[in-house]
Amino acid sequence: MRTRFARALPLALPLVLLAGCNTLRGVGKDIEKAGEVIQDTADKNR
């Protein structure tokens, strides 16, 4: 059992990191879009 885990860990770790990266990228895009909306609204109400 331990050897299976030891073999699977190096394969699973990059997948977990990539999944986290995608999530952070999505959050970053959402924040960027919200900032653009705020900026556009501010520009219209000058």
Q: Which tens digit of pLDDT belongs to each residue from 1-46?
A: 567 777 777 888 777 777 777 777 787 888 899 999 999 999 999 8
Report how far residue 1's alpha carbon sits from residue 4's, in angstroms, rounded to the nearest whole number.
Answer: 5
Q: What is the pLDDT of residue 19?
A: 75
| pTM for the full predicted model | 0.54
Structure tokens belonging to residue 9? 């860990």
Structure letter (DSSP) for residue 7: H
Q: What is the pLDDT of residue 14?
A: 79
